[in-house]
Structure 1
Amino acid sequence: MKSVSAAGKGGALPAVSRDRIEQHLKFLEGVRHPVAAPAALQRACTYLEDTLRALGYAVDLHGFADGGEHYHNVVATRLGTRRPEKRVLVLAHFDTVAGSPGADDNASGVALLLELATIFKEWRPELTLQFVGVNLEENPGLEESGAGLRGSSALAALAAAQGWEIEAVVVLESVAFAGTSVPQGAPAGVPLQVPPHGDFLAVIGNEVSQGLVTRFALAVESFQIALPVVPLVVPGNGELLPDTRRSDHAPFWDAGYPAIMLTDTTNFRNPHYHHPSDTVDTLNLSFALRVCQATAAFLLGLTGWEGEAPR
């Protein structure tokens, strides 16, 4: 099985497996939608639950209602050894729009979430670490009930109601379409010079999350990961740049929690976005692997650990 590790000023990262990432992608590829493909959506939910349980995590199904039906987020927890009341959440949504197999959006994020859970399965973090598969992120068609970000909105509401002490939410949102020859666009009003080619990872936070954006970029530099990073901190909760609110971090911003979105920028780069052509064979797995390494480096610095670092 192919695996790649990285080392830097922070020590050695655990090895990340390209093969495991690809296996997750191939299993998940296919329409996963509450109306168009409910059985496949449930299959993805069960896959997350079973995989995380097999890795030794405590797994809970967080239920919520939508449109008269009941759905679940999958929450895997490793309690912190020193400050268990403090939490770091890693999120990725596992549903798709009705007409797309959703390899990049967002099987890629789920595959990286599962790979991170795998490489850290023996880790004893000082802070509580939770890996969360989020349901019903996508905005429905006009004929459907409800709105987008339903699973993450329900989870953020639970966190606020129970007084969770969240140090960071890291959202993996479409993280595997990239290349030096890929034309890159940008939404109007972005207050920075966006590179012309889509070979970078965008790290997007709001004002409350500015420190997380900075720490992510520093982690990439410290571990000498060959991943161009474009950081963006938006005013308020991104109201002036609605495109920066189009994933599961937004409900946590609105609840006052620090959260960042890691993304390949989806439709501003990927011509297959929300189309039937969003398939595994269009993805750049080497790029996805580096995003996984970068996220692992960030989590190591953010949550700390007791004893030896994971390898």
Structure 2
Amino acid sequence: MVINSVIKNVQAENLYKHVLETEGIRHPLETLEKLEETAQYLLTLFENIGLVTREHFFEVEGFNYSFRNIEGLLDFDKEQELIICAHYDTIAECLGANDNSSALAVMLEAARLLAKQEQHDYNIRFIGFCLEEENPSRVLKEQELGKKFGILDENNRFATLRAQKIMEEHFDLRAEVFSDDKTLSESWDIATKQLRPKLSDQELQYFLALQEIYGQDTAISWIGNSITLGSYAYVQALPQDKQQISGVFNLESVGYASNQYNSQTFPDWVDLSMFPSNKLNSDLLIGNFIGVFSDSNSYHIAKLFCDQCNLEVIDLPHLLWHYPSSFDKIAYEMPDMLRSDHAPFWKINVPAIMICDTLDFRYPYYHTKADTIDKLNFDFMTKVCQATIASVMAFSKID
């Protein structure tokens, strides 16, 4: 098979090199230089393997800077295209080896090998998205308010243990009361009122000010306002006829696997019996599988990816999490499914899947300084890369 002859050339050493080169805080407020260095790394590698490159610039309201999504196009002069994407930013103080250098590495290695093929039925576009994690304008305002009201110190750490506990309690209350018949503003209001008896005047003013920043979002509008800003800007700039995009493979944190029992968790509202037909080498509570997430428009892509995981040469345990609903319904019922750059594509009904190790439902170092290269499983990442390449080739019926 042609697919087998290609995927056997995936090099774990290349994956390691890409993570090593990009690991580090890549945040617009903390380390803008490293963020731009990573963008340039993607651009240079795309150029070196012969892709047609483009920088898609976008701006964030209230923040005086032009950010960029980095594109590399494998152009076969076709009308239809497939997208393979991964974000390259991190949150503040997170070294981002898994989130999301692991996915960048898989995307870059897939690009290297797919670029060597002489023919595909689709153009293939590789995109490194910026600002998946946070809205820097909002984060900056939150930091300024935190210092003003004594919640944060000059290094943006909680100034007191009490401040940390109050913030955690407020967050938990907001999550508890949020439902499909309440806006985020109402959730903020209810949480603040419930905590009011124990809040100081400074703390109360802080929460009221935060509500002005975040409370106007809805379960739908937080996509593109609070997270996934780069991919949302990209989607908004697409031509009105988006039918040229046949499918999106969004790679999100694909580097951590564990064979320990209870290493895998799920949201409280998930019924594990909804996963009867997935290939797992062990119990659902053992986190050694890759998650594949799809909506009502993208089951065929998810199924295709899972079929490649089943190839004898790959043999990658996987869990297909298919929710046959629209973006709006998912936003209210399963918001955790929207936490990456596939979400803006779902919003405009473009078929897209998220390929993910399930983030903080498995990875104990999620969004911490301990998210470092030594935590990653490069054999696991190799299989994810192989399955991604095989899926793109199978889409093009190259077997």
TM-score calculated relative to the size of structure 1: 0.90
Instruction: Find the counterpart in structure 1 of residue 127 from structure 2.
Output: 132
The answer for the alignment partner of 1:236 in structure 2 is 326
1:301 aligned to 2:394? yes
Is 1:21 the counterpart of 2:100? The answer is no
1:133 Cα shift?
A: 0.6
Matching residue of 1:258:
351
Q: Which structure has the larger Rg? A: 2
Paired amino acid for 2:306: A
- Aligned partners of 2:139 and 2:345: how far apart in 1? 27
Q: 2: distance between equivalents of 1:164 and 1:73?
A: 21
Letter in 1 for 2:272: L
Give the match for residue 119 of structure 1. Answer: 113
Equivalent pairs, count: 297
* Structure 2 Cα separation of the partners of residues 34 and 62 of structure 1: 17
Partner of 2:35: 41
1:181 — aligned with what?
Answer: 260
Conserved? CA contact 1:160–1:255, under 8 Å: no
Contact 1:16 1:115 in 2 (8 A): yes
Deviation at 1:26, TM superposition (A): 0.4
What is the CA-CA distance between 1:304 and the residue it aligns to? 4.1
Instruction: State the percentage of identical aligned residues.
Output: 30
CA contact (8 A) 1:97 1:140 kept: no
SS at match of 2:29: coil
State the alpha-carbon separation in 1 of the partners of residues 310 and 40 from structure 2. 36
Between the aligned partners of 2:321 and 2:239, the Cα distance in structure 1 is: 26
Aligned residue in 2 for 1:203: 292
Aligned to 1:192: 272
Q: Which amino acid aligns with 1:126?
A: D
Q: 1:162 Cα deviation (Å)?
A: 5.8
- Secondary structure of 1:147's counterpart equals coil
Letter in 2 for 1:209: S
Q: Is the 8 A contact 2:35 2:89 kept in 1?
A: yes
CA distance, structure 2, for counterparts of residue 156 and residue 223 of structure 1: 36
Of 338, 360, 382, the residue aligned with 1:245 is 338
Q: Distance in 2 between matches of 1:169 and 1:304?
A: 17
Structure 2 partner of 1:291: 384
Instruction: Please say if residues 223 and 297 of structure 1, whose CA atoms lie closer than 8 Å, have aligned partners that are also in contact.
Output: no
AA aligned to 1:115 is E
Q: 1:207 to 1:191 in 2, by over 3 A?
A: farther
Q: Which amino acid aligns with 2:388?
A: T
Conserved? CA contact 2:256–2:376, under 8 Å: yes
CA displacement at 1:219 relative to structure 2: 1.8
- CA distance in 2: counterparts of 1:43 and 1:33, whole angstroms: 11
Q: Pick closer, same or farther for the CA change 1:140–1:180 going to 2, 3 Å.
A: same
Q: CA deviation at 1:154?
A: 0.9
Q: Which residue of 1 aligns with 2:5?
A: 12
Partner of 1:149: 228
Letter in 2 for 1:97: I
Amino acid at match of 1:151: G
- The residue type paired with residue 71 of structure 2 is V
Q: Determine if the alignment matches structure 1 residue 172 to structure 2 residue 251.
A: yes
Q: 3-state SS of the aligned residue for 2:79?
A: strand
SS of the residue corresponding to residue 238 of structure 2 reads helix
- Aligned-pair CA distance for 1:158: 1.8
Letter aligned with residue 230 of structure 2: G
Are 2:58 and 1:64 aligned? Answer: yes
Return the match for 1:107 from 97, 101, 109.
101
Shift of residue 187, structure 1, vs aligned partner: 1.4
In 2, Cα distance between equivalents of 1:249 and 1:75: 16
Amino acid corresponding to residue 172 of structure 1 in structure 2: L
Deviation for aligned residue 1:11: 4.6
2:135/2:227 contact within 8 Å kept: yes
The alpha carbon displacement at 1:113 in A equals 0.5
- Identify, as 1 or 2, the structure richer in helix: 2
Q: Whole-Å Cα distance in 1 between the matches of residues 56 and 233 of structure 2?
A: 9
1:179-232, CA deviations, whole angstroms, 9 ceiling, x for partnerless residues? 211610011333434711110000001011111111111122235412101001
Q: In 1, are the aligned partners of 2:52 and 2:75 still within 8 Å (CA)? A: no
**1:133 alignment partner, SS class:** strand
The residue that corresponds to 1:4 in the other structure is none
Could you state the TM-score of these two structures normalised by the residue count of structure 2?
A: 0.71
5+ unaligned residues in a row in structure 1: which ranges?
1-6
- Give the residue type in structure 1 aligned to 2:340: S
